[in-house]
Amino acid sequence: MKKIELDIVALSHSVTHSHNYAVVLGEQDGVRRLPIVIGGFEAQAIAVAMERMTPSRPLTHDLFRNSMDTFNINLKEIVINNLLDGIFYARLICEKDGEVLEIDSRTSDALAMAVRFECPIYTYEFILDAAGVILEDADEEGATAPTKKKRKRAAKIVDLTDRSTEDLEELLKSVLDKEDYREAAKIRDEIQRRTQ
C-alpha cells in the first residue's frame, strides 16, 4: 500500500470530547485533514516537543527517546496503520544495526515520538477515506495544501502558563502577524491575568 505523508497542523482542545485534545494531521500533498482525539498528557508531550521546551526533568517520551539513543535505535518513521471502531493504531518503524524493527504504539505516543525524532508521519488512503475531512477553505478548482514550513508554524498553542511574560509578548506579536486572532486573544488574556 502507498503511504501518504502527514504533518501536524494543529493541536487544540477537542470540541466533541471534554478534557481531551485533538491533534490535526494534514496530508502534505493535498487538502485532507485527519483529526485524532488524544489525552491531555499526550497533548502536553507533543506541545513541549513542538515548542522546543526543555522540562527540568525528562518526560516519559523524552526518557524513551534517550533510551533509544543510548542503544543506537533510530526512529525512521511512524505509520498510522489502522482504524478499528474509531480507534487509530500506529507503529514505530525503527532501525538498529541495519535491521528494521516495528513497535506497536498508541497513535498519540507515536506522534509525541515523531516530533522528538523529527521523523515523517505516514498513513494510508483507506484511513483518510474513513476518517479524513476536506479542508473547508479549499477552493474546488485547484486547491493546494500549505507547505510543510507553513504547517509547522500553524500549530496551535496548548499551554501558556509555563511561558515567561516576555515569551508571551513575542508569541503574541507572532500570532498577530499571522492574523490568528483566536490564539492572540488567549495569549492576551494570559498576559492580562499576570498583570492584575
Residues 139 and 165 in one domain: no
Residues 120 and 32 in one domain: yes
**CB 88, CB 107: distance < 8 Å:** yes
Residues 130 and 93 in one domain: yes
Residues 55 and 140 in one domain: yes
* Residues 129-152 pLDDT 10s: 999 998 655 444 333 334 344 334
Quickly tell me which residue has 518503524 as its cell: 93
Q: Give residue 157's pLDDT.
A: 47
Section 61-80 average pLDDT:
96
Residue 10: give the domain boundaries: 3-156
Residues 105 and 180 in one domain: no
Residues 10 and 97 in one domain: yes
Residues 48 and 130 in one domain: yes
Q: Which residues of 149-162 are buried (b: 16+ CB within 10 A; e: fewer)?
A: eebeebbbbbebee
Quote the number of domains for the chain.
2
Residues 44 and 127 in one domain: yes
Residues 108 and 170 in one domain: no
Which residues contact residue 183 at a Cβ distance below 8 angstroms, ignoring those fewer than 6 apart? Answer: 156, 157, 175
* Residues 98-138 pLDDT 10s: 999 999 999 999 999 999 999 999 999 999 999 999 865 54
Residues 115 and 182 in one domain: no
Q: What is the pTM of this model?
A: 0.68
Ramachandran region, residue 86 (left: φ > 0; alpha: ψ -120 to 50; beta: rest): left
Residues 61 and 114 in one domain: yes
Residues 137 and 192 in one domain: no
